[in-house]
């Protein structure tokens, strides 16, 4: 580790943006984007998750690729962020917030720019990212699903959280949840839509069977968010009360 003249700290040639949560990792990344005027590829390492971002003119154009994360996250790469598709930018923010939540170290390297999309596509200004993502970073104004999962963490022992079909967060050992999410969720969703064609509101369904360790499993949906989670069976009344309070 070395200390540069401008007090920047470097580890293995990468500049440290955040360590032990200071400054807030997501805020530090936005600040770095805001400081990048020329077209560059910023390579951010968030506790081993490596994101290559196309940045120019103090704007995030998009993610070139991601390494060290679940394969589903690659759905967020290879396209330029657009002002007329804010939902994608928000989904990316939720994903990054999940990576940054407990990050102990975030570093950055600045490399020459690489092609991404059409050069005329400018991306999203850092100032707009701050508005779209900052509330997620500080834990206020979270989505309803994020509030529900975080607020019931003592009883929800593991979960997979997705936004617009992209996995944006996990917690605990999801080994037994992965096949449910992969093989059963979409089939359940299609049946639910066929039976309740006009039901677009929040939905929480406890699945039959549960896990072999005594925990139960449920699927929850609200808006474009969904989760599959394992929970302590005895806590179901408390969990349902919390779900109703947060989503209604």
Q: Are residues 90 and 200 in the same domain?
A: no
- The structural domain count of the chain equals 2
Residue 172: the pLDDT is: 85
Higher-pLDDT residue of 207 and 139 is: 207
Do 97 and 194 reside in the same domain of the chain? no
- CATH for 182: 3.30.450.30
Handedness of CA 177, 155, 27, 163 (dihedral sign): positive
The alpha carbon of residue 3 and the mean position of all alpha carbons in its chain are separated, in whole angstroms, by 32
User: Given this model, what pLDDT does residue 139 score?
Assistant: 43
With a cut of 80, say whether residue 4 has pLDDT above it.
no
The domain boundary, picked from 137, 172, 197, lies at: 137
**More reliable by pLDDT, 207 or 131:** 207
Largest CA distance in the chain: 65
Domain boundary among 112, 137, 162: 137
pLDDT tens digit string along 82-103? 888 888 888 888 888 888 888 8
Do 213 and 100 reside in the same domain of the chain? no
- Tell me: do 165 and 97 sit in the same domain: no
Q: What is the pLDDT of residue 140?
A: 42
Domain that includes residue 81, residue range:
2-137
Q: Using the 3D structure, point to which of 137, 163, 189 is the last residue of a domain.
A: 137
Tens-digit pLDDT profile for residues 156-183: 989 998 877 777 778 888 999 999 988 8
Better pLDDT: 148 or 168: 148
Task: Determine what percent of the chain falls in helix, strand and coil, rounding each to the nearest 5.
Answer: 35, 30, 35
Mean pLDDT of the residues in the chain: 84
Q: What is the mean pLDDT of residues 22-45?
A: 92
Residues 168 and 227 in one domain: yes
Is the torsion defined by CA of 191, 195, 201, 206 positive or negative? Answer: negative
Same domain, 51 and 73: yes
DSSP structure class, residue 141: S
Residues 101-139: tens digit of each pLDDT: 888 999 999 999 999 988 888 899 887 887 777 544 444
Task: Judge if 205 and 105 occupy the same domain.
Answer: no
């Amino acid at each position: 580790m070395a200390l540069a003249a401008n007090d920047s700290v470097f580890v293995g040639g990468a500049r440290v943006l955040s360590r032990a949560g200071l400054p807030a990792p997501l805020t530090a990344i936005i600040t770095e984007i805001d400081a990048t005027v020329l077209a560059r590829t910023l390579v951010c390492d968030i506790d081993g998750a490596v994101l290559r971002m196309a940045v120019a003119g103090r704007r995030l154009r998009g993610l070139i690729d991601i390494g060290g994360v679940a394969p589903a996250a690659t759905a967020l790469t290879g396209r330029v962020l657009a002002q007329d598709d804010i939902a994608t930018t928000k989904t990316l923010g939720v994903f990054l917030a999940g990576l940054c939540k407990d990050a102990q170290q975030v570093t950055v390297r600045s490399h020459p720019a690489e092609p991404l999309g059409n050069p005329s596509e400018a991306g999203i200004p850092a100032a707009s990212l701050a508005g779209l993502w900052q509330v997620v970073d500080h834990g206020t104004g979270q989505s309803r699903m994020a509030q529900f999962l975080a607020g019931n963490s003592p009883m929800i022992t593991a979960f997979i959280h997705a936004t617009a079909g992209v996995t944006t967060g996990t917690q605990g050992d999801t080994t037994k949840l992965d096949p449910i999410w992969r093989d059963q969720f979409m089939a359940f969703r299609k049946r639910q839509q066929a039976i309740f064609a006009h039901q677009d509101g929040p939905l929480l369904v406890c699945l039959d069977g549960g896990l072999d360790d005594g925990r139960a499993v449920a699927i929850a949906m609200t808006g474009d968010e969904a989760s599959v989670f394992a929970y302590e069976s005895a806590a179901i009344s408390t969990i349902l009360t919390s779900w109703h309070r947060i989503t209604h």
